């Protein structure tokens, strides 16, 4: 779930309100709605999949005049899809043919080795994702 929250918080920040339901045991399954001033993000996250199932991430962000949908699957094969929808049309958004998690991990390794920062990656952004996760867990 933290990956979804990290991505959405980078786009929209910390929500005004969080609604969530699900189960929290050894493994969990969560449905969360993040409410912002001009947008709503809906997130589903699970750790109930079998061990051989690929890691999946997805989200929908609904704006006043459109919505954005992302889905990714990371296992033996990598698949990422993003679509932008309005009342007039549906557009597929091109995503570079690479595993973004792999790219980010390499950036972090290089940053540590070279004592440099990573643009767009900060402790504040990570803190926002954790704040949202805490609100979700409190709502379950």
Dihedral angle computed from the Cα positions of residues 18, 21, 24 and 29, in that order, rounded to the nearest 10 degrees: -100
* Residue 55 pLDDT: 84
Percent of the chain with pLDDT over 70: 95
Q: Is the pLDDT of residue 84 over 90?
A: yes
The number of folded domains in the chain is 1
The CATH number covering residue 132 comes to: 3.30.360.10
* Residue 101 pLDDT: 67
Q: How confident is the model at residue 100 (pLDDT cuts 50, 70, 90)?
A: low
Q: Give the range of the structural domain holding residue 48, as residue numbers without chain letter.
A: 2-139
* Residue 120 pLDDT: 67
- 137 vs 123, which has greater pLDDT? 137
Rounded Cα distance between 34 and 42, Å, is: 6
- 86 vs 96, which has greater pLDDT? 86
């Amino acid at each position: 779930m933290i990956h979804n929250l990290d991505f959405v918080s980078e786009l929209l920040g910390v929500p005004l309100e969080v609604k969530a339901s699900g189960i929290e045991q050894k493994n969990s399954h969560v449905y969360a709605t993040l409410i912002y001033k001009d947008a709503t993000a809906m997130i589903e996250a699970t750790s109930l999949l079998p061990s051989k199932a690929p890691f999946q991430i997805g989200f929908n962000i609904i704006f006043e005049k459109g919505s954005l949908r992302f889905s990714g699957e990371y296992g033996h094969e990598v698949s990422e899809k993003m679509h932008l929808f309005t009342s007039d049309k549906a557009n597929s958004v091109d995503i570079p043919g690479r595993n973004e998690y792999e790219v980010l991990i390499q950036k972090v390794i290089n940053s540590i080795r070279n004592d440099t920062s990573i643009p767009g990656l900060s402790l504040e952004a990570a803190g926002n994702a954790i704040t949202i996760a805490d609100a979700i867990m409190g709502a379950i």
